[in-house]
Amino acid sequence: MAEELHQIRLTVNGTAHDLRVPARRLLSDALRHDLALTGTHVGCEHGVCGACTVLLDGDPVRACLVFAVSVQGQEITTVEGLTRPDGALGPVQQAFAECHGLQCGFCTPGFLTTITAGIRDNPEPTHDEAREMIAGNLCRCTGYQNIVKAVERAAVLAREGVEGDRPGDGSELEAGQLAGDDRADDAATTGLGA
């Protein structure tokens, strides 16, 4: 017996998409397979790793835990939707590039969406708040220090509405360089533990 399909309309990155999907279709699968938005990565498929994080009405959610049929009428923002209208990198993307906040890149989309929401809610995070902001996203490559630095840099870029370096905002450090005075508490293996 064929599985029943449901007609839904998903609004993703400002564009409405009409789809026919089974009731059990996960949002992550609808984005990746039905809409070819492959920036949303699927890692653990249990909501633990954060790789599939997207914004749902501006709030971060694990797309692997949400059914596509349940998000009609809500705005979904994927990593592809984080660029500026002119195509330039958004502040979080720019900060990741400047601070070398990625290595293999698999976890990066989830970090970018999580941090985008985090900075919206807390535009001036302390170092500890920046670390806490990313605590729900797992990375096996970076050691987290440069990701924390990227959170701090993204907050500056977002507040100033700029895309590049400005004197006096901490960008005097070479891109990706950590200021040693307030980073000694970062654990070398994860950057999240003491």
Domains of the chain: 5-81 (3.10.20.30), 91-182 (1.10.150.120)
Whole-angstrom Cα Rg for the chain: 18
Spatial neighbors of 93 by CB under 8 A, at least 6 apart, are: 82, 83, 112
- The Cα 51–Cα 46 span in angstroms is 11
The confidence score (pLDDT) of residue 147 equals 96
Task: State the amino acid at position 159 in one-letter form.
Answer: R
In the prediction, which pLDDT does 162 show? 55
pLDDT of 170 = 40
DSSP-based helix, strand, coil % in the chain, nearest 5: 35, 15, 50
Query: Which SS3 state, helix, strand or coil, does residue 13 take?
Result: coil
The 8-class DSSP code of residue 12 comes to E
Residues in the chain with pLDDT < 50? 163-194
4 three-state secondary structure: coil
pLDDT of res. 92: 97
Helix (H) or strand (E) holding 11: strand 5-12
pLDDT in tens, 69-103: 999 999 999 999 999 989 999 999 999 999 999 88
Name beta bridge partners: 75.
11
Residue 161: name the closest of 79, 91, 78 by CA. Answer: 91
Distance, in Å, from the CA atom of 156 to the CA atom of 170, rounded to the nearest integer, reads 9
- Measure the CA–CA gap between 37 and 13, rounded to whole angstroms: 10
**Residues contacting 156, CB < 8 A, separation 6+:** 166, 169, 170, 171
pLDDT at residue 191, as a whole number: 33
Q: What is the pLDDT of residue 161?
A: 83
The size of the chain, in residues, is: 194
pLDDT value of position 164? 43
